[in-house]
């Protein structure tokens, strides 16, 4: 049970780090001006997204990232790379492709009519944050599960 809690903690640390990065970038005036420019963005996106509860979304993503720590350990033998850094990058890419890529397409592009160019900018930010999450998880798992 202690090992599972350590893996969940590793996921939470990674989720916190990745979401901190998202918070810094998505709250920057430059990105906000781009994403909320009525000349570029769909009206539906402009109407709907300010209504979301960001605190609940962020806390939920961080809490759910605990599963990323567990899954990382479960899949670790099959993850390419010999070092925690290589495996962390792969794991971050896995998080991005299995979650954010689909979310961006199905929610923002197809449901809210966000233009592809803006979705690609968001996906680039989400990729970097996911890589950060994967690296933190891999490092934390490496340090927390080392034999003593």
Mean pLDDT of 9-35: 96
**pLDDT digit string, tens, across residues 29-46:** 999 999 999 999 999 999
Mean pLDDT of 122-145: 96
- Model confidence at 88, pLDDT cuts 50, 70, 90, reads very high
pLDDT for 148 beyond 70: no
pLDDT the model gives residue 147 = 65
The string of DSSP letters for 46-87 reads HHHGGGS-HHHHHHHHHHHHHHHHHHHHHHGGGSS-SSHHHH
pLDDT the model gives residue 1 = 86
């Amino acid at each position: 049970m202690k090992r599972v809690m350590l893996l969940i903690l590793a996921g939470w640390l990674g989720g916190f780090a990745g979401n901190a990065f998202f918070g810094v970038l998505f709250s920057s005036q430059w990105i906000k001006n781009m994403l909320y420019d009525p000349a570029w963005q769909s009206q539906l996106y402009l109407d709907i997204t300010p209504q979301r509860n960001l605190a609940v979304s962020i806390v939920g993503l961080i809490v759910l990232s605990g599963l990323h720590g567990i899954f990382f350990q479960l899949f670790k033998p099959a993850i390419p790379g010999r070092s925690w850094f290589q495996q962390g990058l792969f794991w971050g890419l896995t998080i991005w492709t299995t979650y954010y890529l689909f979310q961006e397409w199905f929610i923002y592009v197809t449901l809210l009519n966000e233009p592809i160019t803006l979705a690609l900018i968001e996906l680039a930010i989400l990729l970097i944050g996911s890589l950060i999450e994967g690296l933190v998880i891999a490092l934390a798992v490496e340090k927390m599960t080392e034999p003593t």
